[in-house]
Structure 1
Amino acid sequence: MDKLSFFGLAIALGAIAFGYVLEGGVVSALFNGPALVIVLGGTLGAVMLQSPASTFIKALKISHWVFFPPKRDIDSAIEQVKAWSHKARQEGYLALEDAALTHPDPYAAKGLSLLIDGASENKLRDALEIDLLLERDRLLESSRVYEALGGYSPTIGILGAVLGLIQAMSFITEPEKLGAGVATAFIATIYGVGLANLLFLPMANKLKYQVEQKMLLHELLAEGIIAMSQGDSPANIELKLEAYRVERPNLMQE
């Protein structure tokens, strides 16, 4: 769980709400169903119009990575590659068949399968690099869906405000209703700008980071499997993969 994402969102929303209250506002006045429907519905519709269905669906599937990123244990991955190397040196590549069939990561499973099948080093490297690049492009394309949401949201918010003002003008002879209608109209602008800058754009950037971290793990696995195909010893393989070990603060994740 990425606690920093939760805390960041809570701090942003809390600071805005608290500042509004300090100015004498009432937080409940910021909730408006029609404005939310216009902004969210219009933004989602625009992004669905521009995005391929597979990309949009993939974007929805990886959205939880913002708060619950995929597990990436570099140390465990290096130890796993070393264990594969030990087993392959002692029993041959065929001894890795069970690992290839049962490994939860399709990328690692494919690499092991190619190794077992006797693919040359060049063919193995080419296949793993192509898969890595294609997967990275697909995931980054999905993360850009949230950039698009952040781009359309403010404009749809302005559209919602204009629609609200048109409705408010129908009360031109009733000052009390007119004032309330104008205030409601501008809530749509708040929703548009707020969703873009507090949710959609931060999500897009966090997803890009998670994608790069996932690709880093796959790159490690690829380098390890290629080193195994070269006949490197487990100790040498560990030395090659040491560069992937980066000390990161773990205070906000668990």
Structure 2
Amino acid sequence: MDFATIGGLVIATAAVLWMQNHEGGTIGSILLPGPLVLVFIGTLGVGLMGGIMKDGIASIGTLKKALLGKVANPAGTVEILIQMAERARREGLLALEDAIKAVDDDFLRDGLQTAIDGTDPDELYEILTAQIQAKKAADKQAAKIFGDMGGYAPTVGICGTVISLVVVLANLSDAAALGPMIAGAFVATLWGVASSNFFFLPVQSRLMRLSGIEVAQMELVVEGILAIQAGSNPRSVAKKLQSLLPPGTAVADKKAA
């Protein structure tokens, strides 16, 4: 589990609350129910309007992924591919049928099974790359929802401020209450801007980053499966796959047959 997003959110929120306290205000004065409900629920509503219900339901899972998702481990995938290449070299491609049952990566397992089934290499490549393109499109749409909400949130916050100012103008006769009412009116703008830049847009960036890592790993898997299907030397497979890993990614040194 990678806590970068949760940790960043905690740090950013703490900074806002610390400044509020440091400037002599009270934390409670910016944690007003009205502005919070309008900004977060209102932004969610307009975000859903820009897509379809399926997108909105899927966004719940993508949010969980952004906050708690595990970062893909390409080094572990390379090790599995090297082991498969060694076994296929010794015993033949059909010998992998039992071995792939223990593989957790669905894309890798299904790709190897397709290769074992005797699929033509060109057709196999087309099948796997089509799956990658489909994932890219799905990930892009999932991230777009949060990006859209990041764009809407500041404007929703301004709407909240305007609503509050209308109430202020309707109560000008109560001079003693004007100060707190005007101050409270700008809380919605604060949370609109803060939610956009401290939550929605960072979540979008996080999802796109995770997608990039996962897609790169899938592309690495395609190269490995095609090499195994072609009967390439395991040492050559290992060198090729390791060259595709991000700098600084370590792979256990295993002797290839």
TM-score in terms of structure 2 length: 0.90
Instruction: Find the counterpart in structure 2 of residue 122 from structure 1.
Output: 122
Distance in 2 separating the partners of 1:36 and 1:107: 41
What is the percentage of aligned positions where both structures have the same residue?
A: 29
Distance in 2 separating the partners of 1:29 and 1:179: 12
Is residue 2:243 matched to residue 1:243? yes
**More deviation in 207-216 or 52-61?**
52-61
Distance in 2 separating the partners of 1:71 and 1:196: 24
Moved over 6 A (4+): none
Task: Give deviations 1:102-156, integer Å, cap 9, x for gaps.
Answer: 5333211221121011111111111111111111111121011110110110011
> Deviation of residue 248 (structure 1)?
4.9
Instruction: Find the counterpart in structure 2 of residue 111 from structure 1.
Output: 111
Is residue 2:205 matched to residue 1:205? yes
Instruction: Find the counterpart in structure 2 of residue 220 from structure 1.
Output: 220
Unaligned runs of 5+ in 2: 250-257
TM-score in terms of structure 1 length: 0.91
Instruction: Find the counterpart in structure 1 of residue 74 from structure 2.
Output: 74
| 1:1-254 matched pairs, under 5 angstroms | 1-248=1-248
> Deviation of residue 18 (structure 1)?
2.0
Distance in 1 separating the partners of 2:12 and 2:135: 33
Q: Would you say the 8 A contact 1:74–1:244 is kept in 2?
A: no
Distance in 2 separating the partners of 1:167 and 1:99: 69
RMSD, aligned α-carbons: 1.8
> Deviation of residue 157 (structure 1)?
0.5
User: Cα–Cα, structure 1 residues 248 and 60, in superposed 2: closer, same or farther, change >3 Å?
Assistant: farther
Q: Give 3-state SS (helix, strand or coil) of 2:118's partner.
A: coil
> Deviation of residue 67 (structure 1)?
3.4
Distance in 1 separating the partners of 2:172 and 2:236: 80
Distance in 2 separating the partners of 1:151 and 1:48: 13
**More deviation in 216-225 or 164-173?**
164-173
Unaligned runs of 5+ in 1: 250-254
* Corresponding letter in the other structure for 1:69: G
> Deviation of residue 206 (structure 1)?
1.3
Distance in 2 separating the partners of 1:176 and 1:99: 77
Q: Would you say the 8 A contact 2:2–2:71 is kept in 1?
A: no
> Deviation of residue 164 (structure 1)?
1.2
